Structure 1
């Protein structure tokens, strides 16, 4: 007789399989569906738009000018990391902050550490320690010209280290006044659940933010080494679990490296799919980056999603990038997105979305990668019932199966 955990797990897999079958049947259906962008009753908080700084060293006209323009437009949260330019982004931001005259208390700085000198998430990198983590944070604070950060995140998980140890280390940093809150980036739900349970048991501060990949484009495989994505439609239960446990979801690569911002980028007939299965290029090279990006995002389902989003953008007078970001924000008020900009026009484009939202039908069509009303309705109904509870998480954690309820392979549309 099957135990409850096994029943739940198999039931979840059967639901994913059913959705896949539905998608195959509807893949070639050419039926129209009406959808729209609507104005919000009140502007959404600018804290949901977190300005990324990874490209800060390459901004035309200088980083300080762009940061001044960002603050003028209401941006108040900034995403940094020790590995961005190996400290250069933090140094440029700190130089601006020191000379800008901006009140530090009006800004919320996010930075990430824990990877040492590793740029790409190598799982065999030297292990993070309590001492190395504190040293990285201290270096970041010195570069940023501040004595605290509002949110400090572990840039990658290291499964070699018990989640409990990370909880202890981050709480020490908080008690010492170096950080206001803490979070993780690219951690799985099972590890986050472990960390939260331990924090609760020991009376410590739990993590309050997670930063996975979140985009309209569902990656078909791991984009960068040791990363985690919640873009797959079947991840809705995970996203809702974070909402129910007061964990912010801060999505990175929301525009899929431009795939969901430029309608003509990497057009389907221009992609050489034979290279997807060839040998990996040398890590860190431009060829390696392009190879990983195209393998992840250039799928038939994602091209359909982009076509639907482009049509919606045209009909509503918005850009593809704006519609793509609105899709991410439709996942809940606990969701924020990292946005990049290298010129003021990009800042204007991003800031403008605070006044808009997608209606439910638009969100459903984009999720299903279809405009067939019957198919969209069936997928939406199925996914809205996809929730996570404690037993589900515990079973997934115990499972040694390759199949996972929350893997990209569960996407009901990505394989068609």
Structure 2
């Protein structure tokens, strides 16, 4: 990627993204990233959550990088944000992934120019608060059993969420709930009475993202904490929310790729033994080893290029939306374009992280090195929104003009009316696609 991103000044109004040089943007966080990388293997081995490192990022203002300058943030463009997130993911993809809900939620507020939500949330974020998501449920069928019920002049929230990415680290939780037939998104203080967060995520990768279970036991909620209410038939605003959420995962995978290249180079350089060669040798001078390293570096470059290209498209759409010239089809194409990127990023990063073991023999599999964590982390991040559903959606769109979100909204409506539906999308997207 380029050493810096040229400033752009095409936006206007209160949401104008002031020009920032990338190096200046990254400077407050650059001392923290190496500290995160240095402890990544140790935390992986001991399953130690990254509270200390996320606290350091929080205090440095990482949570406000996308908030415009005039509102008190760093004013990063979307390409600059994803570039910075990839630097963090290179240090530890778990930590980058843990911010997924925080940044996706803020992005939607920025995109929709939701003044009331901005007035509620941005002062909290500027005060170094972090936001976590509690959306999905671990039930026999997809649905939302978390309920918000009236209690005098307020409400009570009861239910259990799983895959609560980043919630363990968060100060505030955005939870999906129901009130009768209405869907709601609710802001819950993480330290409120009745909130219970458990680190029980048992995936074989991305183990430290804080994606465990969140229980809400009769939690008191005020009217001001209800962020959004809508029925299944309500029209949704045009949004690239699905693209942004997926791009955070793809960026985490690209960071995994960079970290794998870094570790394979560090592994090979000092070695003095090679399989099948008697005595002392220099694997770093072996043409076959050089070829493997060249291959993984090229795969990583391709990953970087996909992330950079797709983030530029999102920036253009963001600016078009703020200028009032974005068409609904533009958002459909943004989703499809990101789904197309997903297919290739997954393939490339799994190739890359498998190649790590081609240069070191059995010694590369040592538990103390945990080089396998790169493949496990990539495979786990790739499984969050199964690519086969997205691949099918791409084909359906190109062949039949069916917008993915339109199809899934229809399926939700049919399910609510008791009608038979065809193949369903992933649970994450059947819940609340835009909060």
TM-score w.r.t. structure 1 length? 0.28
TM-score by length of 2: 0.27
Higher-Rg structure is 2
The structure with higher relative contact order (CA 8 Å, sep 6+) is: 1
